[in-house]
Amino acid sequence: TTKKPRPPKPSNAVTIAVSSRTLFNMVKERKVFEEEGLEMYVAHQLELEDQPFTPGVSFPFVKALMNVNVRLRELYPDSEELFDIVLMTNNHAQVGVRLINSINYYDLTIERFCMTGGESPIGYLKAYMTNLYLSKDSMKVQEAIEEGIAAATMFACDSENELSNTQLRVAFDGDAVLFSDESEIIVKEHGLDTFFRHEKEFENKPLAQGPLKCFLEALGKLQRKFYAKNQRINCPIRTYLVTARSAASAGARVLKTLRSWGLEVDEALFLAGAPKGPLLQKIRPHIFFDDQMFHIEGAQELGTIAAHVPYGIGQKYHKGKRIDTSDAVNNEKI
């Protein structure tokens, strides 16, 4: 086998932290843990140490990141500007051997492990300068976002679309994902007509950044390394903005905001309120980020791997109706 390259310094890399429950399917193990407790769970894992876990929901995304790294290394053999995947788990260190065996079985390059033994991983995410954190635990994701770390809760889909082996595709919603939720607040509280007027009036005033802007920025940084070597046409990273906004009435502000940040998306799709699922089925992203569960569910139904960003006013509404927020999230950061 070829010698595995050393992991890059976190300050140079684009660090993606994935939880063990998104990387691998650990549903059965989780059940043992919940029904029989920690000791039985650890014993169960030790017994099955040599059986690799089956792939989980973030597995195709991680594979795609590795493919990009292979291409980056061909063009820049000594560069540390690569994706670096960190496995975050609050598992007991004893379970680590089965995780390591699984990683080697699928030939994944994951050298950084954070086994926090039940402690919250947020402090470690900061120490690793994490550019994106993916978990199945919405409370941890929430905590990460409140700490200013791009994060999302991953959801499996019933049937998965076939994904590209040569290109990482990442699709983002706009408001409350790449941008702040200021415009969404106007839609929810004053309706679409006021929103259109507002967006027209402030067309040249960039929107404030949302929780995932820094991840798009990190992707852009790596894309430009391909462009610098004349590889724009077959760049192995492609980004999509998939927004419910209408282009003519509310599109310019979004595009001008990206421009003001020095960022671009490869494709911008303005759906004017049409469902996102069918379009995502065509794009086939390795991951799609949205702040509204309604869109996540629509994406899942048509085989798209979706990740929920629990941020902004959208958390207080479902299908346009306000929900009781006594126990919902209250984090309007404007």
Per-residue model confidence as pLDDT tens digits over 23-39: 999 988 889 989 998 88
pLDDT value at position 3?
61
Phi, psi (5° rounding) for residue 218? -65, -40
pLDDT value at position 161?
82
Last residue of a domain, one of 129, 154, 179: 154
- Residues 6 or more apart whose Cβ sits within 8 Å of residue 276: 173, 242, 244, 288, 290, 295, 298, 299
pLDDT value at position 115?
85
pLDDT at 325 over 60: no
Task: Please indicate, yes or no, whether residues 291 and 186 belong to a single structural domain of this protein.
Answer: yes
Task: Please indicate, yes or no, whether residues 316 and 180 belong to a single structural domain of this protein.
Answer: yes
Task: Please indicate, yes or no, whether residues 175 and 276 belong to a single structural domain of this protein.
Answer: yes
pLDDT band of residue 4 (cuts 50, 70, 90) is: low
pLDDT value at position 2?
55
Q: Which residues on adjacent β-strands are paired with residue 6?
A: none
pLDDT at 334 over 50: no
Task: Please indicate, yes or no, whether residues 267 and 222 belong to a single structural domain of this protein.
Answer: yes
Task: Please indicate, yes or no, whether residues 38 and 145 belong to a single structural domain of this protein.
Answer: yes
In a domain, 235, yes or no: yes
pLDDT band of residue 315 (cuts 50, 70, 90) is: confident
Task: Please indicate, yes or no, whether residues 114 and 18 belong to a single structural domain of this protein.
Answer: yes
Catalytic residue (one of 173, 181, 290, 291): 173
Whichever domain contains 252, its CATH number is 3.40.50
Q: Read out DSSP for 179-212?
A: B-SHHHHHHHHH-HHHHHHHHHHTTTSPPPB-TT
Last residue of a domain, one of 154, 181, 204: 154
Mean pLDDT is lowest, of 42-51, 53-62, 111-120, 255-264, for 111-120
Distance set, CA 136 to CA 64, 214, 221 (Å): 20, 21, 27
Whichever domain contains 132, its CATH number is 3.40.50.1000
Residues of the domain holding 86:
10-154
Q: Which residues on adjacent β-strands are paired with residue 89?
A: 115
Task: Please indicate, yes or no, whether residues 147 and 230 belong to a single structural domain of this protein.
Answer: no
Mean pLDDT is lowest, of 69-83, 142-156, 235-249, 320-334, for 320-334
In a domain, 327, yes or no: no
Q: How far apart (Å, rounded) are the C-alpha atoms in residues 30 and 225?
A: 41
Task: Please indicate, yes or no, whether residues 52 and 90 belong to a single structural domain of this protein.
Answer: yes
Domain tally for the chain?
2
Task: Please indicate, yes or no, whether residues 117 and 244 belong to a single structural domain of this protein.
Answer: no
Task: Please indicate, yes or no, whether residues 176 and 145 belong to a single structural domain of this protein.
Answer: no
pLDDT at 333 over 50: no
pLDDT band of residue 317 (cuts 50, 70, 90) is: low
pLDDT value at position 331?
40
Residue pair 155/37 in contact (Cβ under 8 Å)? The answer is no
In a domain, 4, yes or no: no
For the question of residue 173 being annotated catalytic, the response is yes
Task: Please indicate, yes or no, whether residues 173 and 144 belong to a single structural domain of this protein.
Answer: no
